[in-house]
Amino acid sequence: MACSHEKMEIHQNEQGLSEDVEKFPRVVRYKATKFEEDEIWASHDLLRNRMEMLGCLQVVSGVPSVGIGFTLAIGLSINESLATLFRVSHMTGMLFIFAGIVSCMLERYPVLLNVSLIINSVCVIFALPGLGLIIADLIQWKYRKLDSMMAMELCILGLQLLVSIILCVWISKVKSGKNKPIC
């Protein structure tokens, strides 16, 4: 038998209650007055598809970030740039790819909600100093041979940071809006 915290309405049969209980047993039907989906997504149905879309955007923006990191590592020596010294593009690119995969899996596996919040928070924590290092490189850079690549990485990292902040806020809203579990 199912258990629920919702009130149920009692519906009588069409003929009304029978006078002769031994001949006709009383039939009572219950009807749920409120239907709910999964307890995590019950009040935030629109967010679930948007989180998956933003997760895909994280993966798609993480791949060129890793590629730009390899290009900068090949084109510059290790001490020419702070971004290549600390491998900002490699680390943030792989971290955002992983966060995007977890965010894409949220619709099928809502148990990963806490994991996705933690990973996206770590992405924000790593992206902020990465942005600072890239901006410092662009301001004081003497070698202008890969200036456009650094500017492109700055734009990609800014987009990734914005997506991770949005996902952190949405996941926090979903977590705070949880309904009571159904037995």
**pLDDT tens sequence across 112-124:** 889 999 999 999 9
* Predicted confidence (pLDDT) per residue in 22-33, tens digit: 665 566 665 655
pLDDT higher than 80, residue 13? no
d(CA 67, CA 56): 17
pLDDT at 46: 55
Cα separation, 118 vs 130, whole angstroms: 18
In the prediction, which pLDDT does 95 show? 95
Q: Give residue limits of the domains in the chain.
A: 45-176
Token output for 32: 């749920």
Q: Is 70 helix (H, G, I), strand (E, B) or coil?
A: helix
